[in-house]
């Protein structure tokens, strides 16, 4: 069921109370389970003060179902059919009508007190007078009518609406005003109508001023020989009978609670909005600096992307050159590796030959040593025997020449071995201690060979001088003729022989050490196998390079992909440069517009502050009061309205109504002002 808005419902009720026309219309007929509806009109005659004098009740039994016999109840006396020939039988309050399908109009008298009584007070020039005394008088007239509602239904006052009117046909009463109602001038007469709802405000638990309609009506005007004789009053609850209370929900607890919570949420939201905007406002300088920094950064990015674009092009060109020259470079490397592989084979053979040469050099050095010792002995014997001195000298020179050849060979062997020892040390085959020991021996051998070579040169020179033909210059003839010179030559030769012997011994020892090192099976095998492994590894490298020169190799394919990728990179850098320019342009515009945005944020902050104050004021001074009014006053009033409407619908007769029969009632008062 859709609920009507609170305002609309209250307005509907108020409008119902204030609408005069509803009271002037005939009461609507309602469906009845008995098929008959009783419309009741109570005519009340009062004197000028409103006191009840006579009560005549007119009932209309509406026979909708054309029933032949109608059962009715009444507490009236002097009952008579006033329209028709239908007869009835009365047994106490029970009436049985021979309706023959017709409706019944009957009336009777009642001595019961009417539910709404009147008290009329007249004043002439502020003096209380009777209605009769007012007739023919002139002056300021006030007529105040007080209504009292004593009717109840199930403990709730029945909501009656009262309308009192009088008609002025001449100028005896003019400048008329009414407290609640209307003065209607049709050009010939004045119709003065006042309205009241006695007891309604009390039933709702509110003041009559708040309801807008009360329990009295005041009529004022200027009298000129006052000549108004009668007042007519209509009292009815018919309008409330038409109100569908089933369609009205008087419980607004959920709506009021939602209004209260929603209003608080708006207040909290306005607080949060202000705090957020205030924080944003405080950070706007940082935002401006940040946008400026973004602008500078975007400009730098644009410059950098231009450089990157150039670099990408250079990279692409370099990769193209690398790809085109790689095959040539690999070919050159292949040739070099091939030569290294061949050289490694030669190294392997050379190491084997070195071992043999060192062994031979050792043997030769021993022979030199023995020859030199023999030559020294021969030379000594030859010198002492002057005869044949020249022959011995010639033999000595030959021995020296042979020794030099052996010494030169030994020096070459020492040099070669020294290089191999360095290689062994670099390869980790010799420890630092072993390397230092062998290197020292080789150095000593080389020095000894050098000294021996120098000694042989000196001996050769001395032998040359000894073979000279000139006496006194140590020639051969001089040696023969001069025993003194011969003795000196022999002494020199012996001296040379001693030095030569020492040198040869040192060489022999050094070569022996080297020969021992190389002769070691483990070292020899390591050197030769290492050379063999070097040769094998170089051949593997050579084969690998050859395979990579193939067009289907991964290297070739990789270079092709690299070339294509660098081309795409170059194109991408062009696009990036364009985007960076757009970004830089956009950031420039953003920087230019930041000031406008900052001003806008400041305005928003100020507006949010005002909104927060306004929402707080609205809640505290408006919504909160509405909520309090509903909880403290209106909630009870609405509950009373619900009960009041039920009472309005439940009051159906002034007399009696049989079970199953529906009905309605209205009261018409005639007040004679002259009485």
Q: Answer yes or no: is pLDDT of 66 > 50.
A: yes
Tell me the C-alpha distance between 370 and 383, whole Å: 20
- What tens digit of pLDDT does each residue of 40-53 get? 999 999 999 999 99
pLDDT of residue 141: 98
Mean predicted confidence (pLDDT) in 523-531 = 57
Q: Which residue has the higher pLDDT, 567 or 366?
A: 567
Q: Which of 117-131, 195-209, 227-241, 556-570 has the lowest mean pLDDT?
A: 556-570
Question: Of residues 345 and 511, which shows the higher confidence score?
Answer: 345
> In this model, does residue 513 exceed pLDDT 50?
yes
The domain locations on the chain are 116-235, 327-548
Between residues 490 and 99, which one has the greater pLDDT?
99
What is the second-level CATH architecture of the domain 116-235? Answer: Sandwich (2.60)
Q: Quick one: pLDDT at residue 479?
A: 43
Which pLDDT score, from 0 to 100, does residue 475 have? 43
Contact call for residues 271 and 264 (beta carbons, < 8 A): no
User: What ranges make up the beta strands (E) of 67-151?
Assistant: 69-73, 77-81, 88-91, 94-98, 104-109, 116-124, 127-129, 139-149
Across 329-351, average pLDDT: 59
Element (H, E) at 537: helix 521-548
Average pLDDT over residues 68-84: 96
Residue 301 clears pLDDT 90, i.e. is over it: no
Q: Whose CA is closest to 638, among 37, 64, 12, 121?
A: 12
Give 177-226 pLDDT, tens digit per residue. 999 999 999 888 999 999 999 999 888 888 888 888 999 999 999 999 99
Mean pLDDT of 250-275: 72
Report how far Cα 505 is from the mean position of its chain's Cα atoms.
95
The predicted pLDDT at position 297 comes to: 75
Q: Which range is least confidently modeled, 365-369, 418-422, 537-541, 625-629?
A: 365-369
pLDDT at position 20 over 50: no
The per-residue pLDDT for 156 is 92
Q: 174: helix, coil or strand?
A: strand
* pLDDT tens-place string over residues 83-111: 999 999 999 999 999 999 999 999 999 99
Q: How far apart are CA 85 and CA 70, in angstroms?
A: 15
The model's pLDDT over 405-440, given as tens digits with 9 standing for 90+, comes to 757 876 786 787 788 788 888 988 778 888 888 888
How much is the pLDDT for 8? 38
User: pLDDT grade, residue 9 (50/70/90)?
Assistant: very low
Q: Residue range 70-87: average pLDDT? A: 96
Note the pLDDT of residue 473. Answer: 46
**pLDDT score of 485 more than 50:** no
For the ranges 10-19, 179-188, 446-455, 603-612, the lowest mean pLDDT is seen at 10-19
Distances (CA, A) of 354 to 264, 301, 439, 535: 107, 68, 17, 18
3-state SS, residue 85 = coil
Residue 652 pLDDT exceeds 90: yes
Which pLDDT score, from 0 to 100, does residue 490 have? 45
Residues 6+ apart with CB under 8 A from 356: none
Query: For residue 10, which of 645, 656, 498, 650 has the smallest C-alpha distance?
Result: 645
List the one residue out of 493, 500, 496 whose CA is nearest residue 381: 493
Residue 107, pLDDT score? 97
Mean pLDDT, all residues of the chain: 75
**Amino acid 471: pLDDT:** 46
């Amino acid at each position: 069921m859709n609920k009507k808005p609170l305002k609309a419902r209250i307005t509907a009720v108020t409008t119902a109370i204030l609408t005069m026309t509803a009271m002037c219309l005939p009461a609507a007929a309602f469906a009845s389970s008995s098929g008959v509806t009783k419309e009741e009109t109570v005519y009340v005659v009062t004197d000028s003060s409103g006191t009840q004098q006579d009560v005549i009740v007119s009932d209309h039994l509406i026979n909708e179902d054309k029933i032949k016999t109608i059962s009715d109840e009444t507490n009236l006396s002097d009952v008579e059919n006033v329209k028709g020939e239908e007869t009835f039988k009365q047994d106490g309050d029970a009436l049985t009508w021979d309706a023959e399908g017709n409706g019944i109009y009957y009336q009777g008298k009642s001595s019961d007190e009417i539910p709404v009584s009147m008290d009329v007070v007249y004043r002439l020039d502020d003096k209380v007078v009777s209605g009769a005394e007012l007739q023919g008088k002139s002056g300021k007239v006030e007529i105040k009518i007080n209504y009292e509602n004593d009717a109840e239904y199930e403990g709730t006052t029945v909501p009656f609406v009262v309308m009192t009117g009088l008609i002025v046909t001449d100028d005896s009463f003019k400048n008329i005003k009414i407290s609640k109602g209307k003065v209607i001038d049709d050009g010939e007469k004045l119709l003065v109508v006042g309205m009241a709802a006695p007891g309604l405000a009390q039933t709702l638990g509110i003041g009559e001023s708040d309801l807008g309609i009360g329990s009295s009506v005041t009529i004022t005007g200027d009298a000129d020989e006052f000549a108004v004789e009668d007042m007519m009053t209509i009292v009815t609850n018919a309008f409330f009978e038409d109100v569908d209370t089933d369609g009205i929900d008087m419980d607004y607890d959920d709506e009021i609670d939602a209004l209260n919570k929603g209003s608080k949420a708006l207040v909290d939201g306005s607080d949060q909005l202000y705090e957020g905007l205030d924080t944003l406002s405080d950070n706007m300088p940082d935002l401006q600096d940040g946008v400026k920094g973004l602008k500078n950064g975007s400009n730098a990015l644009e410059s950098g992307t231009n450089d990157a674009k150039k670099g990408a092009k250079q990279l692409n060109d370099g990769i193209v050159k690398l790809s085109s020259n790689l095959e040539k470079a690999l070919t050159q490397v292949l040739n070099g590796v091939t030569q290294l592989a061949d050289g490694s084979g030669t190294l392997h053979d050379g190491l084997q030959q070195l071992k043999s040469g060192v062994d031979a050099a050792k043997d030769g050095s021993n022979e030199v040593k023995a020859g030199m010792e023999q030559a020294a002995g021969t030379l000594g014997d030859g010198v002492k025997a002057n005869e044949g001195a020249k022959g011995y000298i010639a033999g000595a020179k030959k021995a020296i020449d042979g020794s030099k050849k052996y010494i030169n060979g030994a020096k070459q062997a020492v040099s070669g071995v020294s290089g191999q020892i360095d290689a062994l040390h670099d390869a980790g085959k010799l420890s630092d201690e072993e390397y230092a020991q062998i290197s020292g021996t080789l150095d000593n051998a080389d020095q000894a060979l050098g000294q021996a070579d120098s000694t042989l040169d000196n001996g050769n020179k001395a032998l040359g001088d000894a073979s000279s033909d000139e006496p006194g210059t140590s020639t051969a003839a001089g040696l023969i003729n001069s025993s003194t010179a011969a003795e000196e030559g022999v002494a020199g030769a012996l001296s040379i022989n001693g030095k030569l012997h020492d040198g040869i011994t040192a060489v022999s020892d050094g070569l022996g050490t080297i020969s021992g090192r190389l002769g070691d099976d483990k070292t020899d095998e390591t050197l030769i196998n290492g050379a063999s492994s070097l040769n094998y590894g170089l051949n593997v490298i050579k084969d690998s390079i050859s395979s990579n020169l193939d067009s289907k190799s991964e290297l070739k394919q990789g270079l092709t992909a690299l070339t294509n990728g660098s081309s795409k990179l170059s194109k991408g850098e062009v696009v990036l440069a364009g985007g960076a320019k757009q970004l830089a342009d956009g950031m420039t515009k953003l920087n230019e517009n930041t000031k406008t945005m900052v001003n806008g944020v400041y305005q928003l902050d100020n507006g949010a502050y005002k909104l927060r104050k306004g929402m707080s004021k609205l809640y505290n001074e408006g919504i909160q009061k509405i909520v309090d009014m509903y909880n403290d006053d209106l909630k009870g009033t609405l509950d009373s309205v619900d009960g009041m409407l039920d009472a309005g619908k439940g009051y159906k007769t002034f007399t009696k109504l049989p079970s199953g029969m529906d009905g309605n009632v209205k009261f018409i008062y005639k007040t004679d002002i002259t009485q």
